[in-house]
């Protein structure tokens, strides 16, 4: 059953179309992450689902009910904001119970629900404190609790971890994931952080200029991006891109990619589209490249000259030159590669992504 369903949602601010006829179905209990750079419309979409923004066209269904014209409180949603948005003059308990009091829930029931939420989020000891006496992580827990007490169908998270420092962020990320396992609510989570997206999501929707570029599992998005934009957006460091021409006459008579004096055999590449344009862009992730003795076993290998070595602890990022083009690859942290070295690298073209240079779509 679909938990949230969006049909042809359009939002205009004057002449500016922020969301363009966007449709999206979210399954019951799914954790969906809306991912994209700032200004792509992801937070706007979340605000539309919450009912905080009036839409220009389209429909929104939550649990099969058309909520397009409903007030936020009647949509069965709870929302967690980046700045926590706790009411500063109320205690934690006051913050948690405000929504219930507004809904005129009986007092003993409020107490029961607040106690349960506090237990789930381990903030029982903080109930009588004011938000100003809490740390960032505690404040965000209270903010989540505010959605929790109201027994909502759908949780909406608007970049909830962006204001936290790196360590707290990874802790709370795990906690949100744990919460999702426990509650099994539908959750829609907006972020610009791909690590959050990859770790939390059942599915990721990558957005750009008000349009969803790709909606798929993290694995699919990472390994089989549908277009050049998604390929370039996901992954850090990003994918290596090489412009080249697609020709026949490879080693086994199959297709091959030529750029400069290099040719990469593509007979193992799983082409998804029938089109065979001449100009293509070939992309391979730095972590799919092997180096040293292992490289010789790969279907494609070549010699590169190393320009810069960036040790990053667990692994090392190497910037090299492949046939006159910049080429990055990842080796493990113990590697003793040095600037100026010549090494052999190799990869399996089956793990690459090839895009039509004209349409930028995956082939």
Partner 1 sequence: MADVQTLNTVAVGTDPVTDRISGPRGAKPRPKLSRRNIFIYGTLIVVAAYYLVPLYVMVVTSLKGMPEIRLGNIFAPPVDITFEPWVKAWATACTGLNCDGLSRGFWNSVQITVPSVIFSIAVASVNGYALSNWRFKGADTFFTILIVGAFIPYQVMIYPIVILLREIGLYGTLWGLVIVHSIFGMPILTLLFRNYFSSVPEELFKAARVDGAGFWRIYFVIMLPMALPIFVVAIIIQITGVWNDFLFGVIYTKPDTYPMTVQLNNIVNSVQGVKEYNVNMAATILTGLVPLFVYFVSGKLFVRGIAAGAVKG
* Minimum separation from the CB atom of position 83 to partner 1 (A): 5
Segment lying near partner 1 (by CB under 8 A), choices 27-35, 57-65, 98-106, 211-219: 98-106
Between 109 and 341, name the residue whose CB sits nearer to partner 1: 109
* Number of amino acids touching partner 1 (CB under 8 A): 28
Q: Give yes or no for residue 359 binding partner 1 (CB under 8 A).
A: no
Q: Give yes or no for residue 286 binding partner 1 (CB under 8 A).
A: no
Between 21 and 89, name the residue whose CB sits nearer to partner 1: 89
Please, are residues 349 and 290 in contact by the beta-carbon 8 Å criterion? no
Between 191 and 194, name the residue whose CB sits nearer to partner 1: 191
Task: Read off the tokens for 323.
Answer: 């046939």
Task: Residue 70: count other Cβ atoms within 10 Å of its Cβ.
Answer: 15
Return the sign of the alpha-carbon dihedral for residues 42, 48, 53, 58. positive
Please, are residues 259 and 243 in contact by the beta-carbon 8 Å criterion? yes
Smallest Cα–Cα separation from 185: which of 143, 152, 145, 160? 152
Q: Give yes or no for residue 130 binding partner 1 (CB under 8 A).
A: yes
Interactions with partner 1, residue window 56-85 (CB under 8 A):
71-73, 77-79, 81-83, 85
Smallest Cα–Cα separation from 246: which of 357, 360, 328? 357
Between 85 and 361, name the residue whose CB sits nearer to partner 1: 85
Binding mask 140-179 for partner 1 (x = CB under 8 A): ---x--x---x-------x---------------------
Q: Give yes or no for residue 89 binding partner 1 (CB under 8 A).
A: yes
Q: Give yes or no for residue 185 binding partner 1 (CB under 8 A).
A: no
* Minimum separation from the CB atom of position 208 to partner 1 (A): 24
Q: Give yes or no for residue 12 binding partner 1 (CB under 8 A).
A: no
How far is it, in rounded angstroms, from Cα 3 to Cα 29?
Answer: 8
Q: Give yes or no for residue 191 binding partner 1 (CB under 8 A).
A: no
* Minimum separation from the CB atom of position 344 to partner 1 (A): 44
How far is it, in rounded angstroms, from Cα 261 to Cα 323?
Answer: 7
Between 76 and 225, name the residue whose CB sits nearer to partner 1: 76
Helix (H) or strand (E) holding 43: helix 42-50
Task: Give me the phi and psi of 145, to 5 degrees please.
Answer: -60, -35
3-state class of 56 per DSSP?
coil
Between 73 and 276, name the residue whose CB sits nearer to partner 1: 73
Smallest Cα–Cα separation from 284: which of 302, 261, 306, 309? 302
* Minimum separation from the CB atom of position 132 to partner 1 (A): 5
In what order do the strands lie in the sheet containing 203-208? 77-80, 154-158, 186-191, 31-35, 203-208, 211-216
Between 138 and 316, name the residue whose CB sits nearer to partner 1: 138
Phi-psi label, residue 8: left if phi above 0, alpha if psi -120 to 50, beta otherwise = left
Please, are residues 324 and 188 in contact by the beta-carbon 8 Å criterion? no
Between 69 and 87, name the residue whose CB sits nearer to partner 1: 87
Binding stretches for partner 1 (CB under 8 A): 47, 50, 52, 71-73, 77-79, 81-83, 85-89, 98-99, 102-103, 130-132, 143, 146, 150, 158
């Amino acid at each position: 059953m679909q938990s949230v369903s969006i049909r042809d949602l359009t939002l205009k601010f004057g002449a500016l179309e922020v969301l363009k006829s966007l449709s999206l179905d979210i399954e019951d209990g799914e954790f969906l992450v809306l991912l994209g750079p700032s200004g792509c419309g992801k937070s706007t979409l979340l605000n539309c689902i919450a009912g905080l923004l009036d839409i220009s066209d389209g429909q929104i269904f939550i649990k099969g009910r058309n909520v397009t014209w409903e007030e936020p409180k009647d949509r069965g949603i709870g929302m967690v904001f980046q700045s926590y948005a706790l009411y500063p003059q109320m205690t934690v308990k006051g913050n948690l119970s405000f929504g219930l009091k507004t809904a005129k829930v009986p007092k003993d029931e409020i107490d029961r629900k607040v106690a349960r939420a506090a237990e789930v989020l381990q903030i029982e000891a903080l109930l009588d404190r004011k938000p100003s006496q809490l740390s960032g992580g505690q404040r965000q827990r209270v903010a989540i609790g505010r959605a929790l007490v109201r027994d909502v169908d759908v949780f909406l998270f608007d970049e909830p971890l962006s204001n936290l420092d790196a360590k707290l962020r990874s802790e709370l990320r795990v906690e949100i994931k744990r919460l999702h396992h426990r509650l099994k609510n539908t959750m829609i989570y907006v972020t610009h952080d791909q690590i959050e997206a990859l770790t939390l999501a059942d599915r990721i929707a990558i957005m750009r200029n008000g349009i969803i570029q790709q909606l798929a599992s993290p694995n699919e998005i990472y390994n089989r991006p549908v277009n050049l934009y998604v390929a370039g957006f996901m992954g850090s460091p990003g994918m290596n891109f090489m412009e080249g021409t697609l020709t026949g006459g490879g080693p086994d008579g199959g297709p091959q990619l030529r750029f400069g004096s290099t040719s990469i055999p593509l007979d193992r590449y799983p082409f998804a589209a029938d089109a065979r344009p001449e100009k293509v862009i070939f992309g391979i992730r730095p972590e799919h490249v092997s180096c040293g003795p292992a490289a010789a076993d790969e279907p494609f290998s070549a010699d590169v000259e190393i320009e810069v070595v960036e040790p990053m602890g667990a692994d090392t990022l190497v910037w090299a030159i492949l046939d006159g083009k910049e080429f990055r690859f990842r080796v493990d942290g113990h590697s003793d590669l040095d600037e100026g070295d010549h090494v052999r690298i190799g990869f399996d073209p089956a793990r690459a992504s090839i895009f039509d240079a004209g349409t930028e779509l995956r082939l």
